Chains A and B, each alone.
Chain A
């Protein structure tokens, strides 16, 4: 159990596992608060405003106030809604997002569960979200919700294909699907990162275009999977009001809200793991102790969260058919070509 220092310290007992499970939960709650504040503040700065200013110094405890408020709002279940599905959907969506945190590493000494199918596992449990959104949208008995849910399901299922192709390519490059295996194969200086061809001789630089294409395919696909702009059509305010969560109020809505932000971190962490060397310091062994590794990992992931927020306030939204066009006619062929190219690189190495 070298990848989990808590198990090393406390031994193999139930308390150790509970603590191991609690840390990601605390992390996701704190992260969600930071991300909500970041969303408000970054939006404001992009738009030449100040953002929340009156809740604590510079408004930094605004998300806390929001949680306090959402806790005490009335919980409405529409009269003609399908109650079991309507009430379960927020929990399913949060479970789906949170389950992915089981294998997301923080440093080489703390991976909550270092299973040998890690990347595949994240990919699998993320699909929970689709089910939950369909459940919530259909059960709401609201036409906007149904439209949003159907849009969301078609979008997320389509975009899983190019992203899964990128995962296969990275697996071919690293010869493993384990999170720690993929990250360890990129150890060393930053030119060993998968984005720059992974470890190997100079011939790998010939394959960088394939990896760049793959990186872009994965990043765009992950934007679509997290329902972020420019692919936020399932909840596109100007068209279908709130999309699948139109009818949700109070904490059930907060669950959807939290899950969206948690999903953003999951996809950013995946990019970090697959392309940017995971917890590895960019400078070889310099600043590469386990504590620094946690810093590097979270910093890399958060920078992609930032890019997602930044894009949201810059780009307009695409249309449903354009979205499908991008997925099936542009990204899928590109991903296939890259997969072949990178498999070749894997063979050479």
Chain B
């Protein structure tokens, strides 16, 4: 199924919550959606006849300057098509509904995005730091992150 067909199908089902379809050259076709009803959109993508995105490829958090973005790369093994779903939230209140129960794979991916970018996945059962130590301060992948000087008495910069 082509990206614009997927977009139309989503648009019919969810209306205003589906914002736009980006098919610029150089960009992979992606659909931008509102974060409010994300879990339902994901469930629709997973279960709807014809879409059946059963395989979660990747979840990336992106620092877009003013906003934080979450990018979901989905793939369907049955239909052999793929789509990118994008969500943007403001940096002050980076709340995105958690999709860990839609695809269990996103459990760790969401923890990683929380760890490195500070995106708050609402509804995640165990949203703790995964890569960095539990008492680490700040979210390193944000563009305005500054390296700490000391951590537990160890000097960090060279």
The answer to A–B direct touch (Cβ < 8 A) is no
B residues touching A (Cβ–Cβ < 8 Å)? Answer: none
A residues touching B (Cβ–Cβ < 8 Å)? Answer: none
